[in-house]
Amino acid sequence: MNRLAHEFPLFDVSGTSYEMGYQLGSQAAPLVQRYLLWIERLTGKPRDVLCRNAMSFLPGIQALSAGYAEEIKGLAEGAGITLEEAVLCQVRAEAAQIGDGGCSAFALSGVATRDGHPLAGQNQDLEPEYGDVAILLRVRPADGRPRALMFTFAGQLGYSGMNEHGVAHFANALYGFQWRPGMAHYALKRVMLEQTTVRECVDVLSRNRTCSAHNVIMCDGQGGVADVECRPEGVSEFVDDDPDWRVHTNHYLTAEFARHEDNTLPDSGDRLDRMRHLVRERWGDITVDVMKSILADHEGDPAGICRHGAENMHSISGYVAEPSQRLLHVRRGHGCLGTWSSYEV
């Protein structure tokens, strides 16, 4: 059996921002082209319209991170695509103003885990075609920014993952908002992987207004955990009934934002209740393997954690970040059927 067939392609880049972008583009050019085709198909919009919309986000990206903007330029050159297409890879949802998936995420620490060390992760719930353009990207910047490993899509330079300080973050889509001018959240995800603690990540989110709504759940190598709901008008941090856990799906949990809930994903509440129940059952004995089994859960159907087509979404991948070991465990495929592999950050 070919083990690589059960893993996402891994691309390892290093050097200046431009060099890292160029290396990814040159190595993954066919996949980048497939990703651009998928964006057109997913959104139902012509590429020229998407590219024009995407370019409106470039000034904000440049202001947020000059390095990210340089990496985009390198990506375009390396992949043989236009700058506009390279920017589109960074703002897929924003350029088309479409919702972005489901997902069930967690962050646990302290008394919740067997060894007291933090764990964080999620099931990634998206249309199954995303799995055909998904990659792992390890970046090794030469300018002192931390090394990081991300799960992302070919040509997209910012997404969920973990850095060498043990900072890890994952995401849940939220709904019930009006699109407004603001920051693309994929760029923020990359900048968060340049931080050293959870509190620094919360500060990044607090200082930058996004054009859409999403939730970010995170941990760090010092044992910190946090959960922040983000909307165009601001952010609100969710604190659970115990400081050592955060669990989130796709509806608002903070008192400040609960009034915006429109029940776009009606299974969200059931998935949240099921995951909380499963974590509570193993409270104090949570390990990486326990969380892998929870992400494969079907016993709670129709409230199971592993999704097979609900709202046209599948659990195409899963992750468990283990900051104490600087390991990111990644699953390709559904929780109940997929194969897990472990990667050093």
CATH number for the segment(s) 104-344 = 3.60.60.10
Question: 236 phi and psi, to 5 degrees?
Answer: -145, 125
Tokens at 175, concatenated: 């709904």
pLDDT recorded at residue 301 = 64
d(CA 186, CA 257): 22
pLDDT recorded at residue 101 = 80
pLDDT recorded at residue 3 = 47
H or E segment at 218? strand 214-219
Q: Where are the domains of the chain?
A: 7-96, 104-344
CB 200 within 8 A of CB 188: no
Classify strands 10-15 and 134-141 as parallel, antiparallel or unpaired: parallel
3-state secondary structure of 247: strand
β-sheet bridge partners, residue 329: 320, 342
Residue type, 114: R
Tokens at 173, concatenated: 């889509």
Torsion sign (Cα): 4, 164, 92, 230: positive
Tokens at 226, concatenated: 């946090």
Question: 164 phi and psi, to 5 degrees?
Answer: -70, -15
Cis peptide before 302 (omega within 30 of 0): yes
Classify strands 314-322 and 168-173 as parallel, antiparallel or unpaired: unpaired
pLDDT string in tens for the chain (345-residue length): 344 568 999 999 999 999 999 999 999 999 999 999 999 999 999 999 999 999 999 999 999 999 999 999 999 999 999 999 999 999 998 887 877 788 999 999 999 999 999 999 999 999 999 999 999 999 999 999 999 999 999 999 999 999 999 999 999 999 999 999 899 999 999 999 999 999 999 999 999 999 999 999 999 999 999 999 999 999 999 999 999 999 999 999 999 999 999 999 999 999 999 999 999 999 999 999 999 999 999 987 666 899 998 878 899 999 999 999 999 999 999 999 999 999 999
Residue type, 107: A
**Residue for token digits 């060390």?**
117
pLDDT recorded at residue 142 = 98
What are the pLDDT digits (tens) for 5-55?
689 999 999 999 999 999 999 999 999 999 999 999 999 999 999 999 999
Residue type, 118: P
β-sheet bridge partners, residue 140: 14
- 287: number of Cβ within 10 Å: 16
Residues 6+ apart with CB under 8 A from 31: 9, 133, 135, 154, 155
Closest residue by Cα to residue 52 from 20, 7, 82: 82
pLDDT recorded at residue 2 = 42
d(CA 185, CA 208): 9
Q: Sheet holding 134-141: strands in order across?
A: 10-15, 134-141, 148-153, 161-163, 168-173, 214-219, 225-231, 234-237
